[in-house]
Chains A and B, each alone.
Chain A
Amino acid sequence: MRVPRRLTLVCAALAMLLLLAACGNDPEASGDGDATEPSGETTDTTTTEEPTSAGATESSDSIIPLDQVCEEEYADVEAPDDFSVRLVTDIGSVDDGTFNQYANEGMQAAADCFGIDTDYIETANEADYENNLNTALEDDPNVVVTVGFLLADATKEFAGDNPDVNFIGVDQFQEDYGDNYAGVLFREDQGGFLAGAMAGLLTESGTVGVVGGREDVPPVVRLVNGYEMGAKHIAEENGEDVNVLKTYNESFTDKAKGRSDAEQMLGEGADVIFGAGGQTGSGGVQAAVESGAWGIGVDQDEYFTTFQGGEAQGVDKLATSAVKRVDLGVFENIAATIQDRFEPGIFTLDAANEGITYAPFHDADIPEDVASKLEEIRQGLADESIDTGLDPVTGLPK
């Protein structure tokens, strides 16, 4: 009796481990796969800082680091003594290489610039959004930052209940924001346009591809259609034709699907792939660069995230990334609150206010004329002499 029972227990333990491992592979259960994460906590501050500082040393004109913004625009601004900011992430962590990390970098930059007290809560589960907002508010902060579209409902509710606190919601669109809530939104169509222009400038085959995320998420549609318009803009100028291959995907976290999409496009002759769908898109970019085609990243400078600061294979073919300056949006709204000029409603980041731009080329060998043409297009978007031809909300052709 004793031995068999013990055996069955060990078997049960093993089975449980297998089961949990299986659950961890479920792309939906992204929150529970990080059981080993806390060991990374010691290096947390260094890893979070790295992209900003490295970005600062290597920066081209395109990405203005926040410490420079601080020096240039807020040199004599001082925050009240007890001013504090709390940030609640979407599912993920502040070093996960997504907008969670980027928003936190914006808050940290504000902490360095204004000497304010900041802290964050990482959300592990959708059921915890309200709980985490509650916990964040227990500290009586002046500003609460919530990251991501999925927190829009909870943020709106808490903004209504806490009129003395300013809420900054990244990627959160509302019909009506109230007096203490700003939604940070982006002109992704311009970002996609920049990526498309880059693709149009680099392609030799005349075929370029984009691996998109979910079609029912408007920013993705804006990126994908913007990409097509950008590539066509260059082709028209040169009197050529360009073939743009597009796919959408059900998931933002399915690297394998992104890879297979990209491989399909490469097989059809594409020689530039833009990844416009979180990790799914990054998978496409990786597949492209590993087989010698060009890749273009999105949201953050993927040189530091997907390509681990240049460690990953094929990084010399990562042409650039279409960057959404989430950090700038968070920073500017915190600064506005400190200076008592906070404006509720939609805070749009676009090429004009440096919120939409392209990342430095890093290890990629980009010809001088391509670089100057891309910068010309960015400035054209910024001064509105170039139009993406898309509706800035739906991302569909006007």
Chain B
Amino acid sequence: MVNKYPLWKYILLMLALLAGVLYSMPNLYAPDPALQITGESSSLVLDQRALNRGLLALDAADISYFGQEINSDGRNGLVRLNNRERQLEAQSIFSRAIGDGYIVALNLAPTTPEWLSAWGAKPMKLGLDLSGGVHFKLEVDTEAAIKQRMEFYEISVKRKLREERIRGRISTERNTIQANFRSEEHRESARAIISENHPELFLDRVNQDDMWIIRATLVDQTIKEIIDYAVSQNLTTLRNRVNELGVSEPLVQRQGRNRIVVELPGIQDTAEAKRILGKVANLEFRLVANLDTPDSEKQKFSYRSPDLKGSSEWLEKAVIITGERVSNAQASFDQNGQPNVLISLDGEGGTQMSRATRYNIKRRMGVLFIERKFRTRYEVDDQGQEVQVKVPYDEKKLLTAPVIQSALGASFQITGLDNPMESSELALMLRAGALAAPISFVEERTVGPSLGAENIRLGVLSIQVGLACVVLFMIFYYRVFGIAAVIALSSNLTLLVALMSLIGATLTLPGIAGIVLTVGMAVDANVLIFSRIREELRNRTTPQMAIHQGFERAVSTILDANLTTLIVAIILYAVGSGPVKGFAVTLSIGILTSMFTAIMGTRSLINLFYGGRNIKLLSIGKEFLPGLEK
């Protein structure tokens, strides 16, 4: 009787196991509490001198640290601390010493050894319920975005008709603009104008009480575009704002039609986070001052772009419009193929822009980008304790100052840009200032660091205890076969953790529960096989034949049983959110790895123990159920 695996199968298994060990190992190295230091703007390079200021302060406060490093591009620095309890204290001391302009964030730095990271191995990411932090779900008010767009259409249509001297009464009702005319001739010319200027509107003609009416309606496709635009622009804006918060690995992600998820690991002050995320940031459009503009009416601003560092412009103090009026800005190309940026303003913005530019053709207009920043001050409160006070101030930098070529309206373009990269960056900055549509918080979950740490501890403990119980039972009940199953089970755990680390899955508390459940259920495949083998033995089959038949017959059952569980896990993944998704991921991966280890892994071990020899007796234990003995 055979029951021998070819050598290549053993090699394959050993390679899989080796890879499993390699890629799951980074999880064994506990991360160091660390401070991550980043320059607030891209032009600010973090150098050793700045870092030393902070390090000296840590020395003075008797906080021990090790392993300070600065990234090769000078954007990031990292200081590892010895003591997690003093991480918060270290953050405030360090950030005070290094001064404004740098963001000092709490971080857990991985301690993966070099030889492991060389293979691309990295530890699993921890979900917020394990690491501590804030999870926000924001909803974008899409109705407001649509309403804003309808206002823009209404004003534009009114103006075009006025220019053509067509008289009519125009009103907006939800997604439809209705224009009433006294004659059919007026209506037809109006229709031509509207369809030429706004081909995306669906036009419908009706007659009612001797009125000739056009109804211009937003089609579903356009509505979808408006919503997508509003959400994606809010995403960009929120990303910029999250960067201000100083979080080491933030997540800003669209979810569903109009939701945005923001996850900020390590953040505890939710009030501050909410304030920054929800604030209205800004742009200002102002005329560049003439030579004869009195000093009291002008201000000097420097350019934001690092290429134009040092140069500056004098702008008038009067503001034409602010960023809230910008409804869209897109990088594009003009008819000559030159890069440009198309800007759309809302109705009111258009009116103000045309009023301001009509008599200022050939002058230049400056676009200012305004960022809210903080200076940190230290004050002593009533209890004599030193507290950190953040004083906000606005930093205004010039984005561009193009020449006004003609009277501008609700939509205009900025040309004369050197390359498409410049135009897309300018468009991004123009959009980044403001939110395209209002947002509201629909979900908030904050987990304190102590609870997160406790969740990990309890989770790991229940895995250990659960595993120990299963191991003891299996060896007691199935003897040598039990040992094979236990080895397979351990490899299964290793592979599961390795795969999760490799695909960058996030480990959550329900995810740990999924691992625990996998431990319990993964032995099922082995139990099925071993029961079969025992049955075969009872039917007086030879041991070798029994092993062979047992494995062969159990496989189809195992496949059926696991595939259906996999279906359920996939549905769970598709429907569940956040932590529940984590459970679904571990469960699905666990099912796949357990089939591999329980069928192939166990078989290889059993073959190794018993295969190819003349065996009289298998050590597979005996039934303890009454009435089932031979």
Whether A associates with B in a native complex is no
